[in-house]
Chain A
Amino acid sequence: MPNRETLNLDILGQACPACLLVALREINENRDKLKKGEIEIIIRTDHRDATRTIPDFAKAMGYAVDIKRIETYYEIKIGKRK
């Protein structure tokens, strides 16, 4: 399996809807790589609502989403759908 790039997006401190739009922008710019499985995006946010809106949309767009809680913030991993 080819090495996957990881794109880290830090939107700690940002509130909705800006965090959603920023996340979407990153996804859009990497849509081809994401679809092929060449990249995965890890988003860090401390905004609780973002853990609902971002995964909802990312899934509707056909990506696999994984959410982890790390102490004071959340990590949302977006990658190719299995």
Chain B
Amino acid sequence: MKHPQKNKRPSIAELQKENFALKEANSRYVRYIRDKVNQLLQVMGTLPLNPEELDDNTLLDFDPIGIVAVAFDQVLDHLRETNRELVIARDELQAIFDATGVGISIIDMDFRIIKCNEKQRELLVDSDISDIDGRYCYEVYCGKESPGLDCPAIDTMATGRSVIIREVEKKGKHFQIVTTPFKDSEGNTVGVIEVLLDITEKKRAEDAEKMQRGFYLAEKSKLATVIESLSDGLFVTDRDGTIISFNNAARRITGYSTTDVVGLPYDRFLGMLSGSLPVIEMNKNTELNIQTKDDRQLIISITSSLVKNSEGEDIGKVFTFRDITEEKQRQEIYYRTEKLVALGQLSAGIAHELNTPLGSILGYARLLMKNKKLDTIQKERLEIIAEQAKRSSAIIKGLLNFARQSNPSLRNINDANINDILTDVLKLLQTEIEKHNIDILTDFEETPSIKVDVRQVEQAVLNIILNAIQAIKDKGKISIKTSCKNNFVKIEIKDNGPGIPDEIKPKIFDPFFTTKPVGEGTGLGLSISAGIISEHGGSIDVESMEGNGATFTITLPINNSEV
């Protein structure tokens, strides 16, 4: 362009050109503004401005770029705030994740570890490994080269469902594992969350308890064995007095089974046994007559004591009892013998005392009667005196007889076998036999049972054998033979003692006749035996030669209508 002169006005052509250029530039600027506004609108997701919608001036006044700028400022603000909140939330989650008491680990579908909290590290990751992201979980946690066959994660991956494993051992500790699927927004399983709970302590406690229980059960069973092996009967009641256990010996002695007895109140059971309600004192022996289930009559000695628990409270009672029938019988025989002996001694004493004055009375009466100078009345009176004296003597004899026979226990007739009776008597005399060094020979034939008062026959036989023992004094032989003939049972008791002289033989069954010094023996033994045997309808005989021992023969009828 030509440089204009100072006073020269530009030409119209020049102005036209300038105008055109300015217009073009203007268009370009406006186009730029509109294009950029549209670009912004496009970014914002809306349609571009229609050129007809807003004319240039309105467009500029409207200031769309300014509006969009301020709008984006708010968007940025919002973003920043959201980010801040996200960071805080993330930090919180991380803190919870690490502080929790269970191990949490997240793996992807290839078993690679995506995330792992502190507890998990503590529980399952070896301390020398620091970086585990991306490593295989089976390698790091389980020390394996491939996933285990029973790995719950495999299950969860396959089914998309949670799996619980209640107990598994890894690296020396015991765990409970729960695996949960980690799903994306479409519901596909894209990973597995594993939660690990350390139950080692709990398991240890459980194992200890199991062991304790084992010990306890073993002790309990030992105790039960001991109780069952006892030879005394034992039963235990609870606090209410109900029987809760009943041992083997108790069953054997009473004949009742456990089911018969357990559950009964103990006083009812004792009532069943004894027919009354006995009072059993604590820690003292009470004797009880009982009838067993199979109708045997027994005598038992029973005692009870309290059972206390470890705090000292009463939780029941324990009863123990023993069959003392045999013991009692033995005692009874001895007592009876002693009683008789005492009575006999007393009687013997009295009789001796009385016999002398009576003898004098009788003697002098007779002497006086020899006087020929007596008148009838005097003779009569003397006869009366003599008669009365004789009568007194008879009374004394009768009294003695009565004393011998007065046995308070009723006569008890039972079927019994004489061999059994003899065996029992020998048992009773065992000590005496051994003391005197005596050999006993028995020859028992099969004999039928006979109806007798067993106690009395025992007494009779015992006296005879005792007699034989005492005759022998020291070292000898007694042989006992039983046989059966003609409706009679025969017992022969033979000893090799000094024998019985002829003059004494008829007297030996007399009451109070004895060859022993005064005070020793009563002379009643054989007379009692004779009495008993005769009352049973039997008889006793003796055969003896001086220096050659003695044989006593007892016969008893088998069918005795008298008894």
Interface size on B, residues (CB 8 A): 22
Which B residues touch A60, using CB under 8 A?
Answer: 75, 78
Stretch at the interface among B3-11, B43-51, B241-249: B43-51
Interface flags, A44-69, vs B, CB<8A=1, else 0: 00000100110011001110000000
Query: Nearest chain A CB to B166's CB is how many angstroms away?
Result: 44
B47 to A24, Cβ gap below 8 A?
no
A27 to B44, Cβ gap below 8 A?
no
A56 to B70, Cβ gap below 8 A?
no
Interface magnitude class on chain A: 10 to 19
A18 to B71, Cβ gap below 8 A?
no
Question: A12 near B: Cβ within 8 Å?
Answer: no
Main secondary structure of the interface of B (DSSP, over half): helix
Question: B346 near A: Cβ within 8 Å?
Answer: no
B45 to A56, Cβ gap below 8 A?
yes
Contacts A31-B74, A60-B75 known; A24 to B81 CB distance under 8 Å? no
Question: B314 near A: Cβ within 8 Å?
Answer: no
Interface flags, A21-54, vs B, CB<8A=1, else 0: 1001101100100000000000000000100110
B49 to A18, Cβ gap below 8 A?
yes
Which A residues touch B44, using CB under 8 A?
Answer: 20, 53, 57
Pick from B46, B78, B82: contact of A20, CB below 8 A. B46
Main secondary structure of the interface of A (DSSP, over half): helix
Q: How many A-B residue pairs have CB under 8 A?
A: 57
Q: How many Å lie between the Cα of A17 and that of B53 in the bound state? A: 10
Which B residues touch A20, using CB under 8 A?
Answer: 41, 44, 46
Please provide the chain B residues from 33 to 81 with a CB less than 8 Å away from any CB of chain A in the complex.
41, 44-50, 53-54, 62, 64, 67-68, 70-71, 74-75, 77-78, 81
Pick from B44, B49, B77, B81 the residue with the most CB of A within 10 Å: B44
A16 to B78, Cβ gap below 8 A?
no
Q: How many Å lie between the Cα of A71 and that of B169 in the bound state? A: 68
B81 to A21, Cβ gap below 8 A?
no
Query: Nearest chain B CB to A61's CB is how many angstroms away?
Result: 4
Which A residues touch B75, using CB under 8 A?
Answer: 57, 60-62
B46 to A62, Cβ gap below 8 A?
no
Query: Nearest chain B CB to A58's CB is how many angstroms away?
Result: 9
Which A residues touch B62, using CB under 8 A?
Answer: 21
Query: Nearest chain A CB to B212's CB is how many angstroms away?
Result: 60
Query: Nearest chain A CB to B461's CB is how many angstroms away?
Result: 118
B71 to A17, Cβ gap below 8 A?
no
Q: How many Å lie between the Cα of A43 and that of B77 in the bound state? A: 23
Which B residues touch A52, using CB under 8 A?
Answer: 45
Which A residues touch B48, using CB under 8 A?
Answer: 17
Which A residues touch B81, using CB under 8 A?
Answer: 62
Q: How many Å lie between the Cα of A21 and that of B44 in the bound state? A: 10
A17 to B78, Cβ gap below 8 A?
no
Q: Which chain A residue shows the least CB distance to B68? A: A24
Contacts A27-B71, A31-B70, A61-B71 known; A18 to B54 CB distance under 8 Å? yes
Q: Which chain A residue shows the least CB distance to B44? A: A57
B78 to A28, Cβ gap below 8 A?
no
Pick from A17, A24, A27, A49: contact of B49, CB below 8 A. A17
Query: Nearest chain A CB to B476's CB is how many angstroms away?
Result: 126
Q: How many Å lie between the Cα of A31 and that of B82 in the bound state? A: 17
Which A residues touch B54, using CB under 8 A?
Answer: 18
Residues of chain A touching chain B, judged by Cβ–Cβ distance below 8 Å, are 15-18, 20-21, 24-25, 27-28, 31, 49, 52-53, 56-57, 60-62
Residues of chain B touching chain A, judged by Cβ–Cβ distance below 8 Å, are 41, 44-50, 53-54, 62, 64, 67-68, 70-71, 74-75, 77-78, 81-82
- Could you write out 6 A-B pairs with CB less than 8 Å apart? A17-B47, A18-B53, A20-B44, A24-B71, A28-B74, A31-B74
